[in-house]
Structure 1
Amino acid sequence: MQIAKVRGNVVSTQKEPSLRGTKLLLLQLVDEEGQPLPKYEVAADNVGAGVDEWVLVSCGSAARIVQGNEQRPLDAVVVAIIDSVRIEDRLIYSKKDQYR
């Protein structure tokens, strides 16, 4: 799994039939210090994440397993909305502090 920040929504009116009804998000991966990386990912959203939230994203074959159907053409799935990230004694991210 990787940590990412939701940057926006991806809207597609024409999709592979197995992806109909799937919400897609544009994610920007972040490093261990919480700094944005120059890497983006489009992911299916299973948890209702919104723009600017930090999320956990599962990629590769694990993404297809999370959806419960290995026939879906998914390479990334948002599996959790992050409340906080702490490394040793340092708070890297806190959702509650973000909205103050």
Structure 2
Amino acid sequence: MIIGEVIGNVWATKKEPALNGLKLMVVRELTPDGKPAGPTLVAADVVGAGIGERVLVVSGSTARRAVGQSEPPVDAAIVGIIDSVEAKC
């Protein structure tokens, strides 16, 4: 899983039909203490996250299962909205 922050939306009027009805969000990867780390990615949102929220993101086949369709064309999905993180670094 990846900790990230939602920093934007993606709108696409023309897309693969299997993406219809999916909310696509731009997510910036964060370290456990909230600093930017790693790439920015687009993730299908299955929990109703909003811009500025910290989220849990899964990738690969786990993301496809989270979306709940048979073989959706996604490789990342937002599966949780983070309330707090406690890490001993």
Class of the TM-score when normalised by the shorter of the 2 chains: over 0.9
CA distance in 2, matches of 1:20, 1:74: 12
- Structure 1 regions of 5+ residues with no counterpart? 91-100
- Aligned match of 2:55: 55
Q: Distance in 2 between matches of 1:69 and 1:8?
A: 24
The 4+ residue runs of structure 1 with deviation greater than 6 A are none
Q: Given the two structures, how large is their TM-score scaled by the length of structure 2? A: 0.92
RMSD: 1.4
Measured in 2, the distance between the counterparts of 1:37 and 1:48 equals 23
Question: Who is 2:12 aligned against?
Answer: 12
The reply to whether residue 34 of structure 1 matches residue 34 of structure 2 is yes
- Higher Cα Rg, which structure: 1
1:55 & 1:2 partners in 2: Cα distance? 8
Q: What is the match of residue 3 of structure 1?
A: 3
Q: Which runs of 5+ in 2 are unaligned?
A: none
CA contact (8 A) 2:44 2:67 kept: no
* Distance (whole Å) between structure 1 residues aligned to residue 70 and residue 86 of structure 2: 33
Aligned 8 A contact 2:27 2:42 in 1: yes
Partner of 1:87: helix, strand, or coil?
A: coil
- How many positions carry a matched residue from both structures? 89
- Report sequence identity in percent: 47
